[in-house]
Structure 1
Amino acid sequence: MLTDDTAALLRLILAGGASAPRRQLLEHHASPAAALAAGTRAWKDCALSDAQVAALRQDDPTALVAVRAWLDEPDHHLLGWHDPDYPPQLRRSPSPPLALFVAGDPTRLWHPAVAVVGSRSPTPGGRDNARDFAHALAAAGLAVVSGLAAGVDTAAHEAALATGGLTVAVLGTGPDVPYPHANAGLHARIAAAGAVVSEHLPGTGPRKEHFPSRNRILAGLALGTVVIEAAQRSGALITARQAGEAGREVFAVPGSIHNPLARGCHRLIRDGAGLVEHAQEVIDALAPLASELAGDLRTRLATPISGGHGNVTRRRQDEAHGDPDYQSLWSALGHDPTGMDQLVERTGLTAAEVSSMLLLMELDGRVATQHGRYFRNR
């Protein structure tokens, strides 16, 4: 059963058009329901177009039947601009979406992440580079974000999952529409262990114009973007450009001067992108930014946990920090991987509370995850 706020947010999404006026409308009111109830004058004061106003005046419940059914499924979520759990990195990007449909754990979108992108038809060496970089980034505790496309994206997602790390897929289709269809199994694995994200309504099929705009979300969620292989005209270069416009780091892996898929990377390097040969160079460059994002998360959760990104001294100071829920979760964790459902049962906390605290413990290096199961980091 949808809440009034969720139903109102869906109507705002269906209104279409420019996102900025609708974001402003949500900022000026206490909730989506209040924004919708504010009426025509308030909508126009926030610069909504005539078409958007006309769309908001209409209430067609049949248009949302499929969306409601998708949201009723377990682990399906809708995060709006008004939501305090909206990813902070994306909020600070130039053109953030009004809302995100998320299959999986939405708290994963707060995790320090690196976008790994490149050609849909990479060379064997490019595919190996994508795997090696994603493996090392995931092993270092960074999430690997990519677009679920064939080629470099697929290799990066699969390597992160094989490492037992976190990966996030950003789609240019609805959250329930894997594209290409051959990646349906990978789509399901990412949703189970990480998160699949889209700004498009469930059921939305592939449209050419959606993929360049998808790339801005991919770039906005990440602290930096690594381009493995890219031709002179490619979606990966669009992602890199959008990452730069968002003030994020851009890295490119060089290649042979005889490889046409290296030319886009060489162009990025000439334009100022960081030349990287090993994932550790990316990790070292982004560590301070990851610590800053961890600070954002601590502020959001107001959970008194000390520590930082990277190597930390693991100290059993739960009693000193004095948070009983945190202590309960730490006690529920063992050295063997434990699933989310079992942790919820052991602690009596909600899944959202457990997910948020586990994410912070991961950032502090005290908890590790493997195939969607959690354990104390050794």
Structure 2
Amino acid sequence: MDALTATLALLRLEGLGPARYWQLLEHFGDAAAGLQSFPEPLLRKLPERAQSRWLDFERRGHRSELWQWAEAERARCADAGVRLLHAGTDDYPELLAQISRPPPVLYLRGRAEALHLPQIAVVGARRASRAGLENARAFAADLAGAGFAITSGLALGVDAAAHRGALQADGATVAVLGSGVDRLYPRRNVALAEEILTAGGAVVSEMPLGASAEAANFPRRNRIISGLSLGVLLVEAALRSGSLITARLALEENREVFAIPGSIHNPLARGCHRVIKQGAALVETSADIAEQLGGLLSVPQTAASAAPAPLPEGQRTLIAALGGDPRSIEQLAAETGRDTGELMAALLQLELAGLAETLPGGYQLTPAGAVYLQGETG
């Protein structure tokens, strides 16, 4: 009995999941033996439909619906150009195999070699600030340029910015889905996924073909993201977010966790500050990450190393007043002695130059603005 087909058949049983799958393997030694000798106490814990499917397999073997589905799934994958990576084989990612009860099977579109590159996960908020998106893009571009593959979840916000940063640097990037690899989610990032594949990256999932993006799938996706990676970079995250789950899993798996700090007034910085308190490394540049993970940056010419272009005196004063924390228009008026109308005009010019951005109730510097401030005061 083929081991991969037996594994697919086992995973078809609702309620089994990776944890019980590995319990079976620990007891029986391989998937085929576990499927044929499914223990009755475990069978009783599964939903009625799963019990019926296995009993049908016990009676009819290879002619059962369960086995026929597994063989058809392999054929569907072959027709769609999707590879199946079975745990325990040489093509299964080595780092992922080291986590507790890894996915028994990975569905892969793209280049399997991308999964064997040293990977860094970049994760964060879907509704990230402009500064957060720029940080995700810039860090990912630098790290990809240094030879790391960038791994993320193809979500809107930080994930998409990280994938694009890697593509911008002509690097490899891996998108891990909470749906089947033939059901790309979110739909707004379908074109991005195709860019990843065209550029030699990979799209992977442990979900079968046709699986939709359900909420229960995303914690499982997050453990794959952290499991594939040497380390996880948290860019922006609220206190309750999937990105914090990814960071927590990475800590549990003894992987490195990095976080970019932010303003104490920014709700999206609180998740980063929490993981820093829990032991994550505070980072300010991509070189901080590359140095800790043993990679080498070729000192890329990024915004952080570019000299600031001259600005009018009024705009330079306003950048200094904005400083490192968000400021309301009233605070800026008090600190600069300028009237509201004049300030609004100057802030608009800074926004158009990409040096400042609007927040609810105020303004803050973008990463480029912070670089300019550092150049002025350094």
TM > 0.5 between the two? yes
Q: Bigger shift: 88-97 or 140-149?
A: 88-97
2:262 match: 255
- Aligned in 2, Cα 1:18/1:186: closer, same or farther, shift over 3 Å? same
Shift of 1:75: 4.0
Instruction: Say whether 1:174 aligns with 2:170.
Output: no
- d(CA) in 2 for partners of 1:68, 1:81: 16
- Which gives a bigger RCO, structure 1 or 2 (Cα 8 Å, sep 6+)? 1
Instruction: Say whether 1:278 aligns with 2:285.
Output: yes
Pick one of 87, 93, 96 that aligns with 1:87. Answer: 93
TM-score normalised by the chain length of structure 1: 0.69
1:19 match: 18
Shift of 1:18: 3.7
| Number of residue pairs aligned between Structure 1 and Structure 2 | 285
Shift of 1:72: 1.6
Q: Bigger shift: 271-280 or 97-106?
A: 97-106
Pairs within 5 Å for 1:25-104:
25-26=24-25, 32-33=31-32, 36=35, 39-40=36-37, 43-44=38-39, 51=46, 55-58=53-56, 59-60=64-65, 63=69, 67-73=73-79, 75-104=81-110
Shift of 1:49: 5.9
- Aligned in 2, Cα 1:137/1:35: closer, same or farther, shift over 3 Å? same
2:307 match: none
Unaligned runs of 5+ in 1: 288-308, 313-378
- Aligned in 2, Cα 1:115/1:90: closer, same or farther, shift over 3 Å? same
- Aligned in 2, Cα 1:49/1:133: closer, same or farther, shift over 3 Å? farther
Instruction: Say whether 1:9 aligns with 2:7.
Output: yes
- Aligned in 2, Cα 1:99/1:68: closer, same or farther, shift over 3 Å? closer
- Aligned in 2, Cα 1:163/1:311: closer, same or farther, shift over 3 Å? closer
2:204 match: 197
What is the one-letter code of the residue matched to 1:237? L
Instruction: Say whether 1:124 aligns with 2:155.
Output: no
Shift of 1:81: 1.9
Pick one of 128, 149, 162 that aligns with 1:156. Answer: 162
**Preserved contact between residue 26 and residue 82 of structure 1 (Cα < 8 Å):** no
Shift of 1:95: 3.5
- d(CA) in 1 for partners of 2:289, 2:41: 41
Shift of 1:187: 1.4
Greater gyration radius? 2
- d(CA) in 2 for partners of 1:104, 1:31: 28
Identity %: 45
Q: What is the alpha-carbon root mean square deviation over aligned residues?
A: 2.6
Q: Deviation string for 1:24-76 (max 9, x for gaps)?
A: 5456778655654xx22xx3299666536654443316645873453123641
TM-score normalised by the chain length of structure 2: 0.69
What is the one-letter code of the residue matched to 1:178? L
1:227 match: 234
- d(CA) in 1 for partners of 2:159, 2:17: 29
- Aligned in 2, Cα 1:205/1:311: closer, same or farther, shift over 3 Å? closer
